[in-house]
A and B are shown apart, each in its own frame.
Chain A
Amino acid sequence: MASIRRFPAEFGYVLPLLLLMLAVFILPIVLMLARSVTQPEWTIEHYQNLIETSVYLRVLGRTLRIAVITTIACAVLGYPLAYWMRGLSSQRQVLATALVVLPFWISILVRTYAWIVVLGNAGVVNRVLLDLGLVGAPVAFLYNELGVIIGTTNVLLPFLVLPLFAAMVRIDDRLLHAAESLGASRSTVFRRVFFPLSLPALAAGSILVFILTFGFFITPAILGGGRVPMVANALDLLINQFARWETAAALSTVLLVVTLACFAVSRWVGARGATS
């Protein structure tokens, strides 16, 4: 009768994994959400605690600030790179794409560690600056917000460049030629035709970078040297040092809600980009 049977045989194939994921992924998250409002009884005390304790607001504010700056840095560095890659010969495009993808395959620990070598007080950059006499004393790149932002930007740049490049390649050259033949200058073609067409991909990529920065843990821990804690580092302290599970659960919930909200926005932007 019904065109879609309720539980056909294929559902049986999905069932084992579904049960596994419900038991050890969904259930723990639901229990965590519940814990943030039910310990010891129904209460919003733990959320009040987050708002009233200035340290959590500072950490949230810092995380937000780092996420915004990282997103802008990735867009500013990534957009010209993707645009340049679009104009390369197909062989060089493959090479450039390989270079962009390369860091994906290297442990984030390794990449973060490398920045200590490069940017430390005795690092390559500081020694060059000192030898050239540009600075009198080593510049403090590390163990502050700047170091963390350099690290996050380095890790997240490919997440913006790859989808942006893919979207730019799909932009039809004939549209640009048509605009040119109608008398538009190169800069006008870019500003009025190319840029608007690439905007949805730029927006989606930027939101992705923004979301991913929010959960960063390793980079602030290592390049911030404990002085630049972000939300994830605060969660580490709450769980592993102070054993304050309820506060951790509340802070995780805030992080989860922000992440899912941004994700929903990015899906919406992506869908608009696909239809327009």
Chain B
Amino acid sequence: MSRILLATSSVLVLAFLCLPALIVIPMSFSSASSLEFPPPGFSLRWYESFLGDPRWLLALQNSAVIALLSSTIALLVGSVAAYGLVRGTFRGRPLIEGVFIAPLVVPSVIIAVALYIFFAQIGLLGTMTGLVIGHTVLGVPYVILVMSVAIRSFDHRIEQVALSLGAPTATMFRRVLLPNLLPSVFAAWIFALIASFDEVIVTHFIAGRHDTVPKRMFNELVLQVNPTITAIATLLIALSVVAIGIIVLLLRRGGVRMQSLT
């Protein structure tokens, strides 16, 4: 009896968790202009109203540019730093690692307020440069976490062999380390990319007149109920599913288990 109760309540809680995702997808194909569920008929009008609106397309372009630039910078600087953290034995290493992971722990809104005041004083408020910098900071923890695990699981002696055979450090990085860690490098990059593409709070504070997809979605949601959001939401879900698929595939190929990341 108590087992049935436990199973029922657990299935209900799982349903509660997944309900939002499950309900948005059918809504996006609805022909109604109100939020009727189940939808009265099938239509692609909300996809048309997204893809046919130049303001949404501009926001999409901004999101893509910011996400690509910030995730690439975070990946380059972050991977090199992760190597130094894992292989190095210098003082203050835990503290430095703490600084790199901190943007994940400190509430985004605090980073948003701090960057707002800082950027306002140095003239970066409301600029694309400011947005890229802000998003880079938020992407760094993901790169550090994923790349630290990957580098730690790579045999240090293979690097030493390459170096002792006379390879310069840069060559060792390019010819030995990078090919072996490539799957994790891509996974780290996608993590940072998604983190940037999904970011609302810091963007909302520092973007000024620039729009990104999440910022525009947020502003629309606060003002009114607009079913166009469901179409964008569904596209974002599709993007996430593809991204997870790629990450899981890459990490498995790279020999990194998902559990070791959490």
Pairwise interchain contact A13-B83, C-beta atoms closer than 8 A = yes
Pairwise interchain contact B221-A112, C-beta atoms closer than 8 A = yes
Pairwise interchain contact A116-B35, C-beta atoms closer than 8 A = yes
The distance in angstroms between the C-alpha atoms of A256 and B103, with both chains bound, is 12
Pairwise interchain contact A21-B140, C-beta atoms closer than 8 A = yes
Pairwise interchain contact A84-B218, C-beta atoms closer than 8 A = no
Q: Choose one: A78, A106, A118, A226; the contact of B13 (CB below 8 Å).
A: A78
Number of interface residues of B (CB under 8 A): 78
Q: Do A113 and B229 form a contact, CB below 8 Å, given A6-B91, A17-B81, A107-B214? A: yes
Q: Which of B18, B110, B111, B262 is the most central at the interface, judged by chain A CB atoms within 10 Å of its CB?
A: B110
Closest chain B residue to A25 by CB distance?
B137
Stretch in B44-52, B53-61, B238-246 touching the partner = B238-246
Pairwise interchain contact B103-A25, C-beta atoms closer than 8 A = yes
Q: Do A252 and B113 form a contact, CB below 8 Å, given A26-B99, A162-B262, A236-B205? A: yes
Chain B interface, >50% SS class: helix
Pairwise interchain contact A14-B229, C-beta atoms closer than 8 A = no
The distance in angstroms between the C-alpha atoms of A172 and B46, with both chains bound, is 52
Pairwise interchain contact B106-A259, C-beta atoms closer than 8 A = yes
B77 contacts partner chain A, Cβ-Cβ < 8 Å: yes
Q: Choose one: A8, A10, A83, A110; the contact of B237 (CB below 8 Å).
A: A110
Chain A interface, >50% SS class: helix
Closest chain A residue to B258 by CB distance?
A101
The distance in angstroms between the C-alpha atoms of A14 and B104, with both chains bound, is 19
**A residues lining the B interface (CB < 8 Å):** 4-8, 10-18, 20-22, 24-29, 31-32, 35, 77-78, 80-81, 83-85, 96, 99-100, 102-103, 105-118, 120, 122-124, 154, 157-158, 162-163, 166, 212, 214-215, 217-218, 221-222, 226, 231-232, 235-236, 239-240, 245, 248-249, 252, 255-256, 259, 263
